[in-house]
A and B are shown apart, each in its own frame.
Chain A
Amino acid sequence: MALKLSDLRTEVHQDWCPGCGDFGILASAQMALKELDIPQERVALFSGIGCHGKIHHFINVSGAHTLHGRALPYALGTKLANPNLEVLCFGGDGDGLGIGVGHFVHAGRRNIDMTYAIHDNGVYGLTKGQASPTLGLDLQTKSLPEPNINNNVNPVALALASGVTFIARSYAFDTRHLADTLKKAVLHKGFAVVIILQPCPTYNDIETRAWYSGEDRRNPETKRPMPRVYKLESEGYDPLVKDGMTEKERFAKMSQALEKAQEWGDEIPIGVFYQDLSTSSYADRILHRIPSYLTASPATQAIAVDGGRPAADLARIYDGLAV
């Protein structure tokens, strides 16, 4: 029986602020899961600490609302242990690009087949609005005593430099686009990163929903707002690195993505920036060492027989150590 949206909802009260981008992200995630129609028990969902972290409690699948900055290694551990699970991980911009940024970089190197979505609103919401690593230099959002003294990290560029094989960006209030982007990310065979631009109605009074939709810059003729966000796919942008491409062709795709990642302000691209289908996944690499990895994974192989005797028979290891 096909999955219904209602199957993916829990009864837990959603305690985000009214107008929070997290509502759009939650709806999109549920849409994506429904449309992918993966049995609920096959999904494992992770989140970190911050406003975003509660998303797991609102989605009716198993998983873990983890520690600040550490959602990724928990998620990776689950995926490595049972490669047949579909693993989705949510993180915040402070959570995933501040305290947990090291894990982000190393996840790129491994290319484990899972999805990592970062809620990016430029502030630490749950601790009342401090600057997050993605807030631009000199910006002074509502609760900052002084303008931001740090430059911002560019998550798309960082993902590219870290070897991430699927890099996309979407917008919390374009739920259709976000759901489709999440689906593409899930279907990608490798580590997929989705940066989700998200207004914080309480603490980010600069990059607001109105700002993203261009309320402040109306078309002089139609008087309609001109949204800042535009879709890469509508421009015919091709992010794909296909099998068999030369290194030079791959570098060209990277340069193109890096260039697009610099656009901000009046023109903010969303969509898939880069997708590399030619790099081996971590599971492929493990299979070279452990041929039974997918059929007898760490989580699913028998470890005991006959009521508790070890399944391991180490006689041949002992031969090398015995005197």
Chain B
Amino acid sequence: MKDESFSWVIGGPQGSGVDSSANIFARACAHGGLWVFGKREYHSNIMGLHSYFQVRVSEKELRSPVDRVDLLATFEEETLVRHAAEVVAGGGILYDPAKAAKPIEEIETWHGFAKEHVLERLKGEGLELTVAGVLKEAEKRGVKLFPVPYTDLVNQLSAHYPEKQLSKLTRVVNVVAVAASLALVKFDRAPLDDAVRAIFGRKPEIAEINVFVADRTYEYATQHYPGGLGRTLTTRASPRRLFLMGNQAVALGKLLGGCRMQTYYPITPASDESEFLEAHEVFDAVPAAKLPDGKGSILVVQTEDEIAAITMATGAALAGTRAATSTSGPGFSLMCEGLGYAGINEIPVVVTLYQRAGPSTGMPTRHEQGDLRFAMHTGQGEFPRILLASGDMEECIYDAARCMDYAERYQLPVIHLVDKGLANSNSLVPIPDPSRIRIERGGLVQSLPATDPPYKRFAFTEDGLSPRAPFGVKGALMWNTGDEHNEFGHIDEDPENRVKMMEKRHGKVLLAAKQIPREEKVNVFGPPDAAATIVSWGSTKGAILDAMASLAEEGVRLNFLQIRMVLPFPDDVVRDVLSKAKRRISVEMNYSSQMAGVLSERTHLSMDTEIVKFNGRPMTHNELHDALKRAAAPGAPQRMVLTNGS
């Protein structure tokens, strides 16, 4: 696979500042006008276990990670030993020479197959079973080694800032690693300072210390490694963009889409979204909204559990608020009953479901798309819902806003499926365009003429949508109940009423299917006469688009049907695209090809090849490139399991 991007990895124990250094690196590249894609991998742990961050940089748009590493930035043993083999010939490793003697066996935070493989390899090659042995092995493969005396550099710093405690300053090794990396690829100095100041904006003193360290490190690296890595990253002009994580993207979409109350119970990887909202609970409003002091607000409530989260959001919706909650699989499991209540009472409430690797607690910080079927069928009995799956950061923004809108327009619960891969990735997104967002309140009744016949919350209408009053409207008294009910909302088990109510509720989804335009349901990429058609949903979109582009350069022409609206299922367009396909390939981050199963139920069309991955690590550009190339050719296996990732 031809790939001109630059892949940088930094790692370290959790809690040591790896995230912020990766952020500085990525933002520096973005400030310098480049495209970046950042991927975070971590354990369910606060301090001490290994985490790493990959930042992939290019002059062209990037949407996914790669397995290859061009420059590995380390300041301790474990990152080096775990990731050294990923560094390509001609790439480089930054490391602390003081750590080279460490025996691999003594790295206590690392266990499992990967460690055994490293030890076996070193034994096979007759190398020392230490960090130095790993470095030797890399060097033999043509990897350049860049020892960086972190301790000396930090000591210089403490001489310059005698009043600071050294223990606090040790965190600046992160900036040393970032600055040394950028110096080795001859990157301009200015964007790094911009990034440091943007990230430590609230703490100018810390920012200045970091700028000072970056200066010294640049000097050191330029002096000691004048040739650098042998690759360069060059700044360029680019439009202003947002540097976002997926959960921030969802939060922005909710604010734009009118969400004014969010409930949540802490869970990885969903809580970051609610915390972002709480940090921005008072925000500017356009003057025409005539809000007090020109401010809008969102109330964020941390609840005692996810049952309270869904029910409280539903209570808020009954009062007329656009309300939402965010969770992940275990929390969503607790929301089943509440979701059904919103269904039978036709209450607009939005659940953002951040999928992570299940079942049960599963791998709480790892990626999976295993909850498709769960989200389609959550809850006892049958009730209508809309289910939307976003494929990238920009879709997260607009889809989050749309979910708020669909919920009110069709008076039903809406589930927005995202995942850990999206939640914890960084990428660049154009500044949101508010004119692409429409807020339609779906027949919300704010007042009733006094002479009207008694208000019926669940009145039978032609399209199934009844006039929806919030609590508090004079003359609009209503009853909600989890029981089957009549038009007023009183319990009613009359068989005729039951049939009419079921038809009414389910009819709304047919209406939604009819009214929602095709471009909000699916995306189709690539030439219509492609050799094979890929079908997928969610965040695999990035790796698929990247792989399609690199395969096109090799003459392999593919197209791609991305299903964004899972319910109501876009039968016609899916059948239309798939029936024209020469070969059909599904791509999903789960064990059982859940979407392929749904497709076959809905269209009676099956896949020629099902590509799956369920090791908790997102699909990479290169592995999907290879897999699709194979799957597109005649004689490809029916099932392909991808296993890359560390």
Contacts of B299 in A (CB 8 A): 80-81, 286, 290, 293, 298
Query: Which A residues are in CB contact (< 8 Å) with B256?
Result: 310, 312, 314
Given known contacts A62-B478, A73-B308, A305-B288, is B31 in contact with A323 (CB within 8 Å)? yes
Q: Check A264 for interface membership: any CB of B closer than 8 A.
A: no
Nearest neighbor of A300 in chain B, beta-carbon distance: B320
- 19 extra interface residue pairs, beta carbon distance < 8 Å, beyond A315-B284, A317-B280, A321-B243: A41-B477, A61-B477, A63-B471, A82-B470, A292-B292, A293-B297, A296-B291, A298-B261, A298-B297, A298-B321, A299-B316, A301-B291, A302-B289, A302-B290, A305-B289, A311-B291, A314-B256, A321-B244, A322-B431
Q: Using CB atoms, name the residue of chain B closest to A64.
A: B480
Contact present for A78 and B440 (CB under 8 Å): no
A183 within 8 A of B: no
Contact: A309 with B432, CB < 8 Å? Answer: no
Bound form: Cα–Cα A56–B479 in Å: 8
Cα(A62)–Cα(B320), bound, Å? 13
B479, A311: Cβ atoms closer than 8 Å = no
A314–B260 Cα gap in the complex (Å)?
Answer: 14
Which residue from B30, B301, B482 sits with its C-beta under 8 Å from A67? B482
Residue of A nearest to B315 (CB): A77
Main secondary structure of the interface of A (DSSP, over half): mixed
B477 touches A49 (CB 8 A): no
Most chain B CB within a 10 A radius of its CB, from A79, A300, A304:
A304
Closest CB pairs A-B (n = 10) = A77-B315, A303-B258, A77-B312, A81-B316, A304-B439, A311-B289, A64-B480, A106-B304, A65-B481, A81-B319
Would you call B314 an interface residue if the criterion is a C-beta within 8 Å of the partner chain's C-beta atoms?
yes
Task: For residue A63, give the distance in angstroms from its CB to the closest CB of chain B.
Answer: 7
Alpha-carbon separation in the docked complex, A105 to B303 (Å)? 12
Partner of A317, one of B283, B311, B312: B283
CA distance A311 to B472 in the complex (A): 23
Measured CB to CB, the closest approach of chain A to B280, in angstroms, equals 6
Taking Cβ atoms with an 8 Å cutoff, the residues of A that contact B are 10, 12, 39-42, 44, 46, 49, 54, 56-57, 60-67, 70, 73-82, 84-85, 102-103, 105-106, 286, 289-293, 295-296, 298-306, 308-318, 320-323
CA distance in complex: A295, B322 (Å): 17
Instruction: Please list 5 pairs of residues, one from A and one from B, whose beta carbons are closer than 8 Å in the complex, sorted by A's number.
Output: A301-B289, A304-B439, A311-B285, A311-B291, A312-B286
Question: A14: shortest Cβ distance to chain B, in Å?
Answer: 12
Chain A residues with CB below 8 A from B295, complex form: 292
Q: A62-B478, A63-B480, A290-B282 are in contact. Are A303 and B322 (CB under 8 A)?
A: yes
Asked whether, in the complex, the Cβ of A318 is within 8 Å of the Cβ of B293, the reply is no
Beyond A64-B480, A321-B248, is A299–B319 a contact (Cβ under 8 Å)?
yes
B30 CB, nearest partner CB in chain A, Å: 4
B42 within 8 A of A: no
Measured between beta carbons, the chain A residues less than 8 angstroms from B341 are 66-67
Considering only CB atoms and an 8 Å cut-off, how many residues of chain B contact the other chain? 89
List of B residues within 8 angstroms of A314 by Cβ:
252, 255-256, 283-284, 432
B471: chain A residues within 8 A (beta carbon): 41, 44, 62-63, 78, 82, 85
Whether the pair A323, B241 counts as a contact (CB closer than 8 A) is: yes
Which of B308, B345, B474 has the largest number of chain A CB atoms within 10 A? B308
Q: In the complex, which residue of chain B has the Cβ closest to the Cβ of A107?
A: B304
> Given A64-B480, A77-B315, A313-B286, do A299 and B321 touch, yes or no (CB 8 Å)?
yes
What's the minimum C-beta distance from B559 to chain A, rounded to whole angstroms? 32
Bound Cα distance A312, B258 (Å): 8
Q: Please tell me if the beta carbons of B323 and A77 are within 8 angstroms of each other in the complex.
A: yes
B316/A290 in contact, CB under 8 A: no
**Smallest CB separation, B237 vs chain A (Å):** 12
Determine whether B428 belongs to the interface, using a CB cutoff of 8 Å to chain A.
Answer: yes
Given A44-B471, A65-B480, A310-B256: A77 touches B311 (CB 8 Å cut-off): yes
The distance in angstroms between the C-alpha atoms of A49 and B303, with both chains bound, is 21
Instruction: Flag if A296 contacts B297 (CB, 8 Å).
Output: yes
Cross-chain contact A70 with B338 (CB below 8 angstroms):
yes
Contact B286 A78, beta carbon cutoff 8 Å: no
Contact A76 B475 (CB under 8 A): no
| Neighbouring B residues of A61 by C-beta, 8 Å | 477
Which residues of the partner chain A approach B482 to less than 8 Å between Cβ atoms? Answer: 49, 65-67
